[in-house]
Amino acid sequence: MLQPAFIRDNRDLTIAGLKKKHFANAEATVDQVLTLDQQRRDTQKELDDILAQSNAKAKEIGALMKSGDKAAAEAAKAETAELKNRSKDLEETLRTVELQLQNVLVTLPNLPHSSVPEGRTADDNEVVLEHGEKPTLHVNAQPHWELIKKYDIIDFELGVKISGAGFPVYKGKGARIQRAMINFFLDEALMAGFQEVQPPIVINEDSGFGTGQLPDKEGQMYYVTEDKLYLIPTAEVPITNLYRDVILAENQLPVKNVGYTPCFRREAGSWGAHVRGLNRLHQFDKVEIVRIEKPENSYAALEEMSQYVQSLLQKLELPYRVLRLCGGDMGFTSALTYDMEVWSAAQQRWLEVSSVSNFETYQANRLKLRSKLDGKMQLLHTLNGSALALPRILASILENNQTPEGIRIPAALVPYCGFELID
């Protein structure tokens, strides 16, 4: 969440950043924030003055009573009662203004980093690099939704029977390669210095607010009405919330966590080949990395995270590209996001498999996540990334490695799954 003090000192920069993210009515909303913030500060000052007067009057009353001047003491008591009534009115006004200010602030997205390109849609994203050669498939090559039926490794119809569309059942070698990828991604993260955690897969409203899913994304999450809990859309949410209301010592930084969870997204269904099979699911598995950094180190950490995710794709022998997202295609809470996309040879298109983002202080301000740095309390920077989401990785492995004899398993996964070929 943006801080009023920052907006106050950087009005034009804030408006420009909001416009880059295509936030409607940026100027009017910023000026509304500034007006409410001024009202809040004026009210707080008046309240502080009255409380100071009340304290002074209390001392005065004591002195008058000791001196025996009861008439003057009674007059002072009347003034004190009037000050107390005024302070109660101001406290109520302050609560109202603070709530109004909060309600406007939570509607503002994070401001984009200066390197974020202009643009409104995914077509405007900047290609940073492309790695690997796109494979040439044999004549009868098929997309993964046909391959999974041919080799009987994933069953969407059983998933519909049990739950509904978007909840596949993995079977045999399909289940084993899922488990293999999870263990591979976790082991790689541990070797890269991340500490593994296993968080809950449901969150409360405070956790959803802390990382910015609420009040922005209620419609995208599954909600357990009776218990007022949400199924997580990503492990980012519970892992980052481990540090809500926490003051980290400087020697605890950086924090590097990794966790595997199933993820749940209600995403409204659409039709067409781009969402067939594993391309879009309501439940999927993902390994997530989360970092908490000193502000001056966060962008170096972001580049390091990007390189780390790329190393996983290289070990899986998948051609990929890295995109820097434009202002209009970025997430609500992100200051800078890199997307990693792998090439799907049978579909002849790029599939997003990871987003790596720096949120700067946006989440930390909501979480009240701080550290005492250079002698003063400061908000920290939070970052996270998919490392990796399984469905589209699996889709690309199946499609890119298909041969007339079967589907070849990348060498890095063979020790984990125990077979070299799906046949």
User: Would you say residue 76 has pLDDT above 80?
Assistant: no
What is the reported pLDDT for 271? 45
Q: What is the pLDDT of residues 181-196, one digit of tens each?
A: 999 999 999 999 999 9
The DSSP line for 338-354 is EEEEEEETTTTEEEEEE
Mean pLDDT of 170-178: 98
Q: Is 43 annotated as a binding residue?
A: no
Query: What is the band of 216 on the pLDDT scale with cuts at 50, 70, 90?
Result: confident
Higher pLDDT, 216 or 331: 331
What is the reported pLDDT for 88? 93
Query: What is the band of 78 on the pLDDT scale with cuts at 50, 70, 90?
Result: confident
User: Would you say residue 64 has pLDDT above 90?
Assistant: no
CA–CA dist 34, 9 (Å, integer): 10
Q: What is the pLDDT of residues 253-286, one digit of tens each?
A: 999 999 999 999 997 544 455 678 999 999 999 9
User: Would you say residue 24 has pLDDT above 60?
Assistant: yes
What is the reported pLDDT for 272? 52
User: Would you say residue 65 has pLDDT above 80?
Assistant: no
What is the reported pLDDT for 255? 98
What is the reported pLDDT for 62? 80
Joined tokens for residue 152:
């009987």
Instruction: Please state, in angstroms and as integers, the Cα–Cα distance from residue 423 to each residue in 149, 160, 259, 395, 402, following that order.
Output: 12, 25, 32, 16, 10
What is the reported pLDDT for 268? 52
Question: Where along the chain do its domains lie?
Answer: 4-105, 122-422
Q: Is 386 annotated as a binding residue?
A: no
What is the reported pLDDT for 55? 84
Mean pLDDT of 219-248: 96
The proportion of the chain whose per-residue pLDDT surpasses 90, expressed as a percent, equals 87
CA–CA dist 109, 52 (Å, integer): 38
Q: Is 344 annotated as a binding residue?
A: no
Query: What is the band of 58 on the pLDDT scale with cuts at 50, 70, 90?
Result: confident
What is the reported pLDDT for 274? 64
Q: Is 120 annotated as a binding residue?
A: no
Mean pLDDT of 307-316: 98
The b/e string for 348-363 (b: 16+ C-beta within 10 A; e otherwise) is eebbebbbbbbbbbbb
Tell me which of 3.40.50.1110, 3.40.50.720, 1.10.287.40, 3.40.50.12780 is the CATH number of domain 4-105.
1.10.287.40
Higher pLDDT, 118 or 270: 118
Q: First-to-last CA distance in the chain?
A: 51
Q: Is 296 annotated as a binding residue?
A: no
Mean pLDDT of 167-178: 98
- CATH class of domain segment(s) 122-422: alpha beta
Q: Is 267 annotated as a binding residue?
A: yes
Length of the chain, in residues: 423
Higher pLDDT, 394 or 78: 394
User: Would you say residue 204 has pLDDT above 90?
Assistant: yes
Four-point Cα dihedral 358, 362, 367, 371, nearest 10: 70
- What average pLDDT does the structure give for the chain? 95
Q: Quote the DSSP letter at residue 286.
A: E
User: Would you say residue 118 has pLDDT above 80?
Assistant: yes
User: Would you say residue 75 has pLDDT above 90?
Assistant: no
Q: What is the pLDDT of residues 364-416, one digit of tens each?
A: 999 999 999 999 999 999 999 999 999 999 999 999 999 999 999 999 999 99
Joined tokens for residue 413:
């996964």
Q: Is 265 annotated as a binding residue?
A: yes
Q: Is 366 annotated as a binding residue?
A: no
User: Would you say residue 47 has pLDDT above 70?
Assistant: yes
Instruction: Please state, in angstroms and as integers, the Cα–Cα distance from residue 276 to each residue in 269, 346, 395, following that order.
Output: 11, 13, 11
User: Would you say residue 197 has pLDDT above 70?
Assistant: yes
- CA triplet 272, 133, 390: central angle to 5 degrees? 50
Query: What is the band of 305 on the pLDDT scale with cuts at 50, 70, 90?
Result: very high
